[in-house]
Amino acid sequence: MRGRIPLGALLGLPLALGPLAWPERPARAQADTAAQPAETPEVLPPGEAREDVFYACTACHSTAVIRRSRLSRQQWDDLMDWMAEKHGMNPLEGEQRRQIVDYLATAFPASSGRRRAGNPFLTD
């Protein structure tokens, strides 16, 4: 019997991995990612909280809606409340929230004239 993998383990594995592979992903707001290749954190500009932002935000939509936005720090902060209250994002608190808002305000600052809001191809 040694070396044989029980059938039950083979059948159980995908079920056990299922919830890990598909973290809470509401049906809404999926349309804009459906036809696009999978994204990785590197599509966002480098920064301390890049991975936090990537994983907190792409549960529901691609980074495109983030990358095309140019907001002040206050507006990014307000947006975090809006995402949580209106769209059901897990509320961001404390240090993590500060880092995420700092990152967003630095990477995607209010339009300076040089970078125009609304162009998803400007990613620098």
Give the count of beta carbons closer than 10 Å to the beta carbon of residue 113: 5
Give the footprint of ligand HEC on residues 49-88 (CB under 6 A). Answer: 53, 56-57, 59-61, 65-66, 69, 79, 83, 87-88
Tokens 């939509």: give the residue.
61
Question: How far is the C-alpha of 63 from the C-alpha of 65, rounded, in Å?
Answer: 6
Binding status of residue 28 toward ligand HEC by CB under 6 A: yes
Residues in CB range of 75: below 8 A, 6 or more apart? 110
Give the footprint of ligand HEC on residues 95-114 (CB under 6 A). Answer: 100, 104
The residues that touch ligand HEC, with contacts defined as CB under 6 A, are 26, 28-29, 32, 53, 56-57, 59-61, 65-66, 69, 79, 83, 87-89, 100, 104
